[in-house]
Structure 1
Amino acid sequence: MADRYYLYGIFPAPGPSELEVEGLDKQQVRSHPLEGFTFLYSETGQERYLASRKNLLGHEKVLEEAMQHGHRTLLPLQFGLIIEGWEQVVQQLVEPHGSGLNRLFERLEGRREVSVKVLWDQAAELEMLMQENASLRQERDALEGKQLSMDQIISIGQDIEQAMNARKQGIITAFRAALNSLAVEAVENDPMMDSMIYNAAYLIDWEDEPSFSQAIEALDAQFEERLRIRYNNFTAPYNFAQLDRLD
């Protein structure tokens, strides 16, 4: 049987050499130099890994510990990547995409990815909308206790939906205005749940993180207790280490 290795990420050579990090299946994480790159891996006897919370966090933990040891320029690999011998990596990754990998390293040098997720309480926002919007409140109150036609139900539903969307867009615009200018790049991703209205990743210079954090705190104060902001200032740069996003 061919040797099987689980891959975590790629560094520019020389990369880490003596990391005391435990990977999936409690295997020692090692590094392997290859064609000017250094791959972080551990041995495995499995053909595939279940994308469980434990395994996903284990994969991420390896990358974050490598970064915490000073190896910040990193291309994280997708969860579950298993190879059978290093020649497979040369043929399928290094030879066809080596120049692209080096361009990604240049983009990430001296930079870090941070993420911002914004959540709101839709019911509370709707109540606030009704308190602030007199015409919409009057429209709703005028229909209370009446037998409504389908057209009436659709009409007021559309008015409320448009007003809520405008409210949501106002929040998103405020976050873009405050944060985008502080970043080298920004990527907006789909919300992960109904209560999430904004989900973005930013590529910033390492030394600029305190300023970015202060901007987040200012936004939190601006919206008082209306929003829950999840800010992660230390993560592997998944959003900015993608070959298909190169110019």
Structure 2
Amino acid sequence: MTEGFYLYGIFPPPGPKTIETQGLDKQPIFSHTVEGFTFLYSEAQQSRYLASRRNLITHTKVLEEAMENGSRTLLPLQFGLIVPDWETVVQDLLQHQAESLHFFLEKLEGKREVSLKIYWETNAELNALLEENPALKARRDNLEGKQLSMDEVIQIGQALEQEMEGRKQDIISRFEEVLIPFAFEIKENDVLTETMIYNTAFLINWDAESDFGEQLEAIDAEFSPRLKIRYNNFTPPYNFVELRE
């Protein structure tokens, strides 16, 4: 017995062709057009899906295959959206959000999301900073082995933090100097670890990705071997769609 329809994303009609990737619970993927919007869906076998790694990957793979097959303009829906019938879609979504949906479909036409994460080795960068700044290194070294007051601890800590922040911004500025001109829009996301210094998505022309990737490799080479980068050149554009209640 089905629990309704599990929705993956919204496309302009006619939407994606056949999707070979199986959906959640290994269900086949279908498309259905209602009031000028094509929804990619499978029959839900559960009333609620756990946001497990496997389920999240399946959700994303369905959308990625649709894009790979030529349905480039996509409004990805957040994981876990189940509706009992298409009348509910009309009443709860389209009656209130049709204008916004049209806006985002137009905004994303011919564009793709790519994302960049930059990491550095904090201790290595700190040591390099001290070697490049003898005065600051001498100041820190002179305090070693001494019992410091709280003010002294704060002062040297603030000085090191300020210099490290400047070092970080120099790296970020170099990447953005070259990459931002490709972007119609960017979305800066939170850094997730101590070693991550940059986490940003770019909305670029679909056909500009190869040039974007080449420029990224060139900048990375400038900083080698100081940095590690994680570049995703193909992902549903979650960062550039925000539906409001």
Match of 1:112 in 2: 112
- Which residue is equivalent to 2:40? 40
1:32 maps to a residue whose letter is H
Q: Residues 14-59 of structure 1, C-alpha deviation per residue, up to 9 Å, x if partnerless?
A: 1124322200111111111111111001111212111111111111
Q: Matched residues in 2 for 1:154 and 1:108: separation?
A: 48
Q: Which residue of 1 aligns with 2:131?
A: 131
- Aligned with 1:148: secondary structure? coil
The aligned residue for residue 197 of structure 1 is: 197
What is the identity, as a one-letter code, of the residue corresponding to 1:121?
Answer: E
8 A Cα contact 1:104 1:243, kept in partner: no
Distance 1:141 1:24, change over 3 A: same
Task: Return the alpha-carbon distance in structure 2 between the equivalents of residues 164 and 11 of structure 1.
Answer: 45
Deviation at residue 175 of structure 1 after TM alignment: 1.6
Q: Is the 8 A contact 1:113 1:204 kept in 2?
A: yes
Matched, 1:143 2:125: no
Give the match for residue 122 of structure 1: 122
> How many residues are aligned here?
244
Q: Give the conservation status (yes or no) of the 8 Å contact 1:2–1:85.
A: no
Give the CA deviation at 1:243.
Answer: 3.2
Alignment of 1:44-63 (within 5 A): 44-63=44-63
Corresponding residue for residue 156 of structure 1: 156
CA displacement, residues 134-156 of structure 1 (integer Å, 9 cap, x when unaligned): 11101011111212122111111
Distance in 2 (alpha carbons) for counterparts of 1:19 and 1:142: 66
CA distance in 2, matches of 1:152, 1:107: 53
**Is the 2:3–2:46 Cα contact (8 Å) retained in structure 1?**
no
Structure 1 counterpart of 2:172, one-letter code: I
Which ranges of 4 or more aligned residues in structure 1 deviate by more than 3 Å?
none
Q: What is the CA–CA distance in structure 1 between the aligned matches of 2:113 and 2:2, rounded to whole Å?
A: 36
Alignment partners' CA distance in 2, 1:205 and 1:156? 46
Deviation at 1:3, TM superposition (A): 4.5
For residues 58 and 103 of structure 2, the distance between their equivalents in structure 1, rounded to whole angstroms, comes to 28
Structure 1 unmatched runs, 5+: none
Tell me how far apart the structure 2 counterparts of residues 18 and 163 of structure 1 sit (CA, whole Å). Answer: 54
- Separation of aligned partners in 2, 1:135 and 1:50: 55
CA–CA separation in structure 2 for the residues paired with 1:111 and 1:143: 54
One-letter amino acid of the counterpart of residue 123, structure 2: A
Give 2:143's aligned amino acid. Answer: L
Contact 2:22 2:62 in 1 (8 A): yes
Matched AA of 2:118? V
Residue 228 of structure 1 deviates from its aligned partner by 0.7
Q: Which one-letter code corresponds to 1:27 in the other structure?
A: Q
* Counterpart secondary structure, 1:39: strand
CA distance in 2, matches of 1:194, 1:88: 44
TM-score (norm. length: structure 2): 0.96
What stretches of structure 2 of length at least 5 have no aligned partner?
Answer: none
Distance 2:86 2:225 in 1: 52
* 2:75 is equivalent to residue 75 of structure 1: yes
Distance 1:54 1:9 in 2: 18
Q: Is the CA contact (8 Å cut-off) linking 1:118 and 1:196 kept in structure 2?
A: yes
